[in-house]
Amino acid sequence: MMRGSGIGKEMVSQLAKGISEPIRAEIKSGNVASIRIAEEAGMMFDREEEGVLYYHRDAILQPIIP
């Protein structure tokens, strides 16, 4: 298994760098791995409602494409 290897975090982070529009994520409360991935991708915690955590990243002027 690849769980815990950081591949998911790297994939989402690289994808987010190529998107200039706002990004949001809805994550089940307690899903620590997905929270780490969202934060690594530059998303910020917004609020929690009914066991769901809402994260967002505002639009950026230019995507960062390596």
Q: What CA–CA distance (Å, rounded) separates 27 from 2?
A: 21
Q: Across residues 39-51, what is the average pLDDT?
A: 96
pTM listed for this prediction: 0.81
- 49 pLDDT band, cuts 50/70/90, is very high
4-38 pLDDT per residue, tens: 777 888 888 888 888 889 999 999 999 999 999 99
Q: What CA–CA distance (Å, rounded) separates 39 from 36?
A: 5
User: Residue 44: which of 56, 36, 54 has the closest Cα?
Assistant: 56
Sequence ranges of the domains in the chain: 7-57
CB 41 within 8 A of CB 12: yes
Residue 3: is its pLDDT beyond 80?
no
Residue 13, classified by CB atoms within 10 Å of its CB into exposed (0-12), middle (13-18) or buried (19+), is middle
